[in-house]
Amino acid sequence: MTDISDTLSQQIKDAHVNKQTLNIQGNGSKKFYGNPCKGRSLHTSAHTGIITYEPTELVITARAGTSLQDINQTLVDQNQILGFEPPDLGNSSLGGTIACNLSGPRRPYAGAARDFLLGCRIINGKGDIMHFGGEVMKNVAGYDVARLMAGAMGTLGVLLDVSLKVLPRPQGEITIHQQLTKQQALSTLTQLRSQPLPITAACFDNTGLYIRLSGNVTAINAAHKDIGGELIPDSEPFWRSIREHKHAFFNNNQPLWRLSLPPAADINLDGESMIDWGGAQRWLFSDREADHIRSNVTDAGGHATLYKNSTTDTEFFNPLDHNMLKVQQQLKKAFDPENILNPGKLYRAL
Amino acid sequence: MPEKINKTQLINKLSRILDTDSLLYKEEDLRPYECDGLSAYRQLPMLVALPKNIEEVQSIVKICHYHNTPVIARGAGTGLSGGALPLETGVLLSLARLNKILAIDQDNLLATVQPGVRNLAISEAVTELGLYYAPDPSSQIACTIGGNVAENSGGVHCLKYGLTVHNISQIKIITIDGELLTIGSHAMDAAGYDLLALFTGSEGMLGIIVEVTVKLLPQPETAQVILASFNDIEVAGRAVSDIIAAGIIPAGLEMMDNPAIRAAEDFVHAGYPTDAAAILLCELDGTIEEVEEQITCVRKVLNNSGVINIRTAENEAERQQFWKGRKAAFPAVGRIAPDYYCMDGTIPRKKLPWVLKSISELSEQYNLAVANVFHAGDGNLHPLILYDANKPGELERTEEFGGKILELCIKAGGSITGEHGIGMEKINQMCIQFSTTELEQFHAVKAAFDPLGLLNPGKAVPTLHRCAEFGAMHVHHGELSHPELERF
């Protein structure tokens, strides 16, 4: 439990005056995530500790350097969970998880990291400590700056404390498997999507479709009967392997693309692929040029992130069109006028 | 930069791009637009423009931008915080005629609609597909989706299904320089900053929303409601926490206090116990098996929490009957007093007893009665202050009382608005909830999108001067707020 807010604020104030760029460093579990960025290291991992946790309020507030493992353990002790099932990737901090807006297999059914974010304390690029949002479920006072921090990769502000909504841990969970081709899996997912079923994860890995059902035991058994398929015993390691990219599919050195798509999108790109998020998140190992992949994905209503093993200097995230980039540059300037916080990390021009 | 032009010149310019029936400027035509749902605040706009398509919106905004004229967007005008209050020197831009459902994407569970489509109309359009749009503000029969996005509207099902921000996928907006910008995507996220979150609840201050793609959900297989009565409101408050502690997230969890119960019962005969100090309505939805089990669980929890009576609706008609009282609570209170003022603050639930006690003390102090309606599940209070606008000074006293309630919410660790927005109404309390640097940050965000401050000026975020003046009137704990500022 250490609060280093004032130290961090002073470091940023100094950097602001000296126009010294800063490279925000948490636990270093996601160094691969985003464009490379230069600058003096600003270490946040010592800023740790759960500040408040009220199980009956469904809210936890912790300092950004707190490890996800600590948070998960604290929640599990009270039979609660983080609804967005974030990946740990070895040793993630809460701040890094929110800054990257990373969510696991439960995302399409429960929401993303940004959906659970209730409030945060941040330091902007001038070194000002500010608090946006709060610890209540509903709060529409002022612009939703807190949620804007999710996925901003630290470029708008350094996260100090984060308040998240939490969920009760489901009473039971089962996973069923159906041997299907990719096309059959996609059409099954589309059929299932419009039915009120207790699905909390759905993934296709070339051996077939895996569907996780969560809730009370009677309800999930009834849903299993409806959907059909073979029961997979002890499926937790399987979902962990999907969430943490430890599944055998990820043993590949080709460039790895994350395709974020409308879940029913029919898209065919050369390469090895896997489907998660019920169709909305697809992983693709492919040597094809970035423009080819990105234009196909954009045409299908999505965007493509060059997640790992890049062999070129292409942008990490899907490039923005001119007008959108201009707006985002203006927004960046509103928080970080000297452009010192993780410059270039999200986009080279930001 | 061209000079500001007068009303006649602006009418001339706009009438070149708009049909005659799309431009209102005579006083009798402007009158219906002088206020939104917060009718205590009134102002005639310079003129009203009613565009029929996105191109017309773009042209209007471009002309206003060029001539440095404020633009105030308006949906159905049901907002409760004066967010759509016109400016004497501004154009009121009504999006009501952009009211078409453009596409329903059944495979991806999305509906793309124009901003003037009513909230309920979306659910009605997809009900045959077994789908619906979850956020259900009480004005859903009239309020528009564009307004819902601008205010980040909630409703009674927020705890389980989230606010507007959780239930939209993409918006198209017109920037102050007239450019069309697509924000979000039809996927589950979009590249770059989360502008979708920033725009949701931004009260028309950053851009004009001209299209919204909402997420649709499968209708739950079944829904069931429990009506529980208590002879002590604090016990009812604790029962809410007990339900959450049992691992249940109800679809709706509403509380009403005795004055609200009596008013509602008298109005719609919902079958509420008029002698109860408080009632809880707990709705559970999901699969038949899930709901059955949850009903059993909630009944057990309530029985251990000091409830005096529990009823489970026996059929759909009774379920609707139970809800009817809650949904009619505001008009019902409207019947027992000449006027009522609806407040909207949020608090951590555990602070409910303290906040209610303090409200009741204030009620005595101001000699104004209060009925409390409460989205108990997510800590959103709606105290209704009863007053008579015809009695000299009573509205002013009511507003002051309301302001005190909002300050209580801040003290309790909550917020001055859960779902109605800041608008004009709560602009002074923003000075208490936020520090100078936070307000400056808001202004910087605004300036990133609207450097001239032409979009809905004067709303949502107070100027620092305003806070200084307000602070001079409200000295807390002997400390002047924003002491660093000069006083005017």
Nearest CA-CA distance, residue B30 and chain A, Å: 29
Q: CA dist B155 to A19, A37, B344, Å?
A: 46, 43, 12
Cα B99 to the chain's mean position, in Å? Answer: 20
Asked if the C-beta of A152 comes within 8 angstroms of chain B's C-beta atoms, the answer is yes
A276 in Cβ contact with A239 (< 8 Å): no
* In chain A, % of residues over pLDDT 70: 100
Q: Residue B5 — very low, low, confident or very high, per pLDDT cuts 50/70/90?
A: confident
Nearest to A128 among B347, B379, B437 (CB): B437
Instruction: Name chain B contacts of A261, Cβ cutoff 8 Å.
Output: 187
Asked if the C-beta of A335 comes within 8 angstroms of chain B's C-beta atoms, the answer is yes
Residue B472 has pLDDT above 80, yes or no: no
The pLDDT of residue B327 is 86
Percentages of chain B per state (helix, strand, coil), in multiples of 5:
40, 20, 40
Nearest to B159 among A137, A171, A347 (CB): A137
CATH number of A4-168+328-335: 3.30.465.10
Neighbours of A229 (CB within 10 A): 17
pTM for the structure as a whole: 0.96
Instruction: Name chain B contacts of A129, Cβ cutoff 8 Å.
Output: 437
The three-state secondary structure class of B345 is: strand
Give the Cα separation of B120 and B37 in Å (integer).
18
Q: What residues contact B463, with CB distance under 8 A and at least 6 apart? A: B443
Nearest CA-CA distance, residue B11 and chain A, Å: 30
CATH class of A172-243: alpha beta
- CATH 3.30.70 positions along chain A are 172-243
Instruction: Name chain B contacts of A265, Cβ cutoff 8 Å.
Output: 108
CB A168 to CB B433 under 8 A? no
Cα A56 to the chain's mean position, in Å? Answer: 25
Instruction: Name chain A contacts of B105, Cβ cutoff 8 Å.
Output: 262
Asked if the C-beta of A191 comes within 8 angstroms of chain B's C-beta atoms, the answer is no
The DSSP element (H or E) to which A296 belongs, if any, is helix A290-299
H helices, E strands: number in chain A: 11, 17
Q: Residue B487 — very low, low, confident or very high, per pLDDT cuts 50/70/90?
A: very low
Pairing assessment for the beta strands B345-346 and B380-387 based on DSSP bridges: antiparallel
- Give the chain B residue whose CA is nearest to the CA of A128: B437
Give the Cα separation of A82 and B389 in Å (integer).
48
Residue B207 has pLDDT above 90, yes or no: yes
A283 in Cβ contact with A256 (< 8 Å): yes
The pLDDT of residue B138 is 87
Instruction: Name chain A contacts of B484, Cβ cutoff 8 Å.
Output: none
- CATH 3.30.465.10 positions along chain A are 4-168+328-335
DSSP result, B84-106? T---TTSEEEE-TT---EEEEET
Extended beta strands in B20-125, E state = 23-24, 47-49, 71-74, 91-94, 101-105, 110-113
Q: Residue B470 — very low, low, confident or very high, per pLDDT cuts 50/70/90?
A: confident
The residue count of chain A comes to 350
CB A111 to CB B162 under 8 A? yes
Give the Cα separation of B264 and B335 in Å (integer).
10
Nearest to A112 among B175, B189, B242 (CB): B189
Angle at the Cα of B23 from the Cα atoms of B22 and B27, rounded to 5 degrees:
135
CB A140 to CB B105 under 8 A? no
pLDDT digits (tens, 9 = 90+) for B74-123: 999 999 999 999 999 999 999 999 999 999 999 999 999 999 999 999 99
The pLDDT tens digits along chain A (350 residues) read 899 999 999 999 999 999 999 999 999 999 999 999 999 999 999 999 999 999 999 999 999 999 999 999 999 999 999 999 999 999 999 999 999 999 999 999 999 999 999 999 999 999 999 999 999 999 999 999 999 999 999 999 999 999 999 999 999 999 999 999 999 999 999 999 999 999 999 999 989 999 999 998 999 999 999 999 999 999 999 999 999 999 999 999 999 999 999 999 999 999 999 999 999 999 999 999 999 999 999 999 999 999 999 999 999 999 999 999 999 999 999 999 999 999 999 999 99
Q: Residue B330 — very low, low, confident or very high, per pLDDT cuts 50/70/90?
A: confident
A309 in Cβ contact with A256 (< 8 Å): yes
Q: Which of 218-257 (A) contact B at CB < 8 A?
A: 218-219, 222-223
Nearest to A323 among B106, B179, B448 (CB): B179
Q: CA dist B58 to B61, B99, B204, Å?
A: 5, 17, 15
Residue B484 has pLDDT above 60, yes or no: no
Residue B488 has pLDDT above 50, yes or no: no
What six digits make up the tokens of A82? 């983080």
| pLDDT (average), residues B135-159 | 94
- Give the chain A residue whose CA is nearest to the CA of B440: A334
Instruction: Name chain B contacts of A262, Cβ cutoff 8 Å.
Output: 105, 107-108, 110, 186-187
